[in-house]
Structure 1
Amino acid sequence: MSFVDLTQKDRLILLGILVVLSVGIYLFELYKNNNLSSKKVVVNGTKIEIKFGDIFKEKGQKLIAFNEFFDTQVDDKIISSGSLNGKFIKKYCNYDKKTLDEMISHSDSLKKIDVNNRIHGGKSVRYALGSLCKIDDYFIMAFSHFDAKNRAYLSVSDYIICLLSMWNELDCYYDGEKIILPLLGSGITRFNDAEISDQELLNYILFTLQVSRINFKSGIKIVIGEDLKKGINLFEIGE
């Protein structure tokens, strides 16, 4: 057996190569983990896939958040044409506005709270947050309060209570298909008692499912818009 007698210089070169390789591998793994395009976790036995994409391109029962009045007037004042519910009403709903309004007003699953005559327009009947109405393969849900200037807002406690109610409602009314959720609360909602990041919103969604103890055997997919990638680190989910 022969041995190579390394000089001090050779040892330093070899050590330098090993350090460079180690740092390179570490940086590659760090980049890969911080730029995941999807992540799978299990909560209460429910298989959950979290991914970036377009919720309207997914197969399953998709949930779309509305305000507490279930407004359907897409005029960029009450409802933005670029929002998910604006896109749903204008492009993906199989019914015209009048028919959709009738389906909402006659829904047995929605919980009416009171009537509020709003000075800036919109509907007057207010519904409980978290209550939902099934429209074909969509669930539309009362998600946010609306102030006098038709701006959506929530408190953190409202948000958590709404999510817990949502899980119970979905458990009652979904028919075994996979449930597709957006990142609820991102972009349009003003939290009046705290600053909530998109990462925290995602954590709240998973946390409330865990607290609910409900198991959706068909699975859940959370689809986050591509424009929100910078605020989400999927590697941290479940770690």
Structure 2
Amino acid sequence: MEYIESGFFMNKVSFFDKRLLKKFWQIFSVIGGIVSFVLLFWDIPKKYKINFLAATLVILLVYYVIAWIFAKRQKRVTLKFGESNVDVYFGDIFQSKKDDLKVISFNEYFDTKMDEQTQLISPGTINGKFIEKHKKNIFELDETFEKDVHLNEKMFININKERKIGKKKRYHLGALVKLPDNYLAVAGSKFDKDNKANISMREYIGFLLTFWSEVDRIYNNQSVVIPVFGSGVLRFTDGYAGATSQELLEIIIWTFKISRIKIAYPSRIKIVVFENQSDMYNLYKLKEIERDGL
């Protein structure tokens, strides 16, 4: 199961969405041209002109409403960037295909301890749900991070001796580690001295560009499934505190586009949007990035 079949999950598409209006006016122009051409050769009796006009307006209104409903009910969109395909859909990353690489976002220390006292990892996040699913194998997870050669030789920053809770080895944002069962762990957030996930927008974009480079290194012709990194979790510190989940999704797609990496068929990038947050996203808008960028 990769995306939601139910119609209860709806896109955040306003009735007067500018993309919807633009498409409507294109249709309107075509219909107007056809009607004008027909009327050159066929004169509508005067007593029927009002009825004809009213019927035309009703048909156009019905078309617009139907188009709007379809836009709101859109569950999936595929974007093409050269040879690469990016799918965005509503679903659950843990229900992705077995052979897909599923990316789980950790903090920059790759902490794995989750309890009420430390509060390093929130149980409601994807990271928390992953830890809960693998709580019997935490020792093996920690050992994987300790022994990963690329992580500790290329992505290691320093040892934070002042950190009182959690691990002390700190890594570059965007660093990827291969885990069992086709999972990937990414260093996706910075922690301050109070273990709060804070980041600047420049750091967020830098994280994504490093992440795509790491994906290119590790994906091995498998599809890669990612969440909307930072949605509802990250605190932006440089004037972008109001960044919406939709904007983060658009930035993720934009950085993939400018990274120039190729995830060629049959592999693809799959971005999974929390199914219970569908009203925070507008999939209908994403085609603009494919064509014009942000």
1:55 aligns to 2:93 (yes or no)? yes
Q: 2:237 is matched with which residue: 189, 192, 197? A: 192
User: CA offsets, 1:44-70, max 9 Å, x none?
Assistant: 321111100001101100111100011
1:210 match: 257
1:130 is matched by which residue type in structure 2?
A: G
Q: CA deviation at 1:31?
A: 2.4
Judge which range, 226-235 or 93-102, deviates more: 93-102
Instruction: Give the distance between the partners of 2:208 and 2:226, measured in 1 at CA.
Output: 11
Instruction: Give the distance between the partners of 1:147 and 1:231, measured in 2 at CA.
Output: 28
2:146 match: 105
User: CA offsets, 1:209-238, max 9 Å, x none?
Assistant: 121111011111111101221221111112
- 1:12-161 pair list within 5 angstroms: 12-59=50-97, 60-76=100-116, 77-91=119-133, 93=134, 96-110=137-151, 111-117=155-161, 121-136=165-180, 137-161=182-206
User: CA offsets, 1:79-127, max 9 Å, x none?
Assistant: 0111111111111x49611221111111112111111145551111111
- State the secondary structure of the residue aligned to 1:167: helix
Consecutive unaligned residues of structure 2, counting only runs of 5 or more, are: 1-41, 289-294
In the superposition, relative to structure 1, how do residues 5 and 185 fare at CA in structure 2: closer, same or farther (>3 Å)? closer
1:207 is matched by which residue type in structure 2?
A: W
Q: CA deviation at 1:207?
A: 1.3
- 1:166-185 pair list within 5 angstroms: 166-185=211-230
Of Structure 1 and Structure 2, which has the larger fraction of its residues in helix?
A: 2
Q: CA deviation at 1:154?
A: 1.1
Task: Indicate if the aligned counterparts of 1:153 and 1:190 stay in contact, CA closer than 8 A.
Answer: yes
User: CA offsets, 1:173-193, max 9 Å, x none?
Assistant: 112111111111211111111
Judge which range, 42-51 or 133-142, deviates more: 42-51
1:220 aligns to 2:261 (yes or no)? no
1:11 aligns to 2:49 (yes or no)? yes
Instruction: Give the distance between the partners of 2:124 and 2:160, measured in 1 at CA.
Output: 26
In the superposition, relative to structure 1, how do residues 119 and 94 fare at CA in structure 2: closer, same or farther (>3 Å)? closer
TM-score for the superposition, normalised by structure 1: 0.92
TM-score for the superposition, normalised by structure 2: 0.75
Instruction: Give the distance between the partners of 1:13 and 1:87, measured in 2 at CA.
Output: 60
In the superposition, relative to structure 1, how do residues 109 and 94 fare at CA in structure 2: closer, same or farther (>3 Å)? farther
- State the secondary structure of the residue aligned to 2:54: helix
Instruction: Give the distance between the partners of 2:269 and 2:285, measured in 1 at CA.
Output: 19
- State the secondary structure of the residue aligned to 1:209: helix
In the superposition, relative to structure 1, how do residues 4 and 112 fare at CA in structure 2: closer, same or farther (>3 Å)? closer
Of Structure 1 and Structure 2, which has the larger fraction of its residues in strand?
A: 1
- State the secondary structure of the residue aligned to 2:150: coil
Instruction: Give the distance between the partners of 1:204 and 1:125, measured in 2 at CA.
Output: 28
Q: Quick one: percent identity of the two aligned structures?
A: 35
2:284 match: 235
* Matched positions, count: 235
